[in-house]
Chain A
């Protein structure tokens, strides 16, 4: 089946630094990828929709200058958390569609900002 790979699975960074998370579709081309954030005991919340070759579409309340999304190819989207702060510590998950209305998720990335 379709596989979405996400890297790194865990990252710890110092407050004020930036961290990049990669999301790759391994056996299909994804023109659209999605980035979610999940705080403990809360539901997945869509942050932004990443479109290959164009600007990402951000959900209300998500700072586009803080969460930079780049979708440079049909198999790779990156999320960069800039000037990270402890409140950005969360579980970040990407997903990609196969074009058949089925969405597959990456394994997720645990970000801890200290």
Chain B
């Protein structure tokens, strides 16, 4: 079993839709959760990070962590074509981070 499972997609949504991206992880010791956005042929860009269960909101983005079910989510409200990218979840800590495979998102105008 992979430490972090993520559906690679692709996921296509119309502009303005609410996007839900999800990951599951297996190691209950993971304490740190992150979402990265990666445009084609670019390095990942940190979007959100959180340490605890619950929701964390930043503009149109909301990160949600449920440690009891080892489930992490990223919600994007009012999605825009510029949100089209691959979104990677990551868990772990400072010394070692484990990434999901990434979900490719396409927002259609």
Interface CB pairs A-B, < 8 A, 11? A6-B43, A34-B97, A42-B101, A43-B101, A46-B96, A93-B44, A101-B32, A101-B93, A103-B34, A103-B94, A107-B43
How many A residues touch B, CB cutoff 8 Å?
22
Tell me which residues across on chain B come within 8 A of A91, comparing CB atoms.
41
Interface residue A104 (Cβ < 8 Å from any Cβ of B): yes
Tell me which residues across on chain B come within 8 A of A42, comparing CB atoms.
101
Interface residue B25 (Cβ < 8 Å from any Cβ of A): no
> Given the complex of chains A and B, what is the CA–CA distance between A110 and B40 in angstroms?
12
Q: Which residues of A contact B (CB under 8 A)?
A: 6, 32, 34, 41-44, 46, 49, 91, 93, 97, 99, 101-108, 110
B42's partner among A32, A34, A108 (CB-CB below 8 A) is A108
Contact in complex: A103, B46 (CB < 8 Å):
yes
> Given the complex of chains A and B, what is the CA–CA distance between A60 and B58 in angstroms?
37
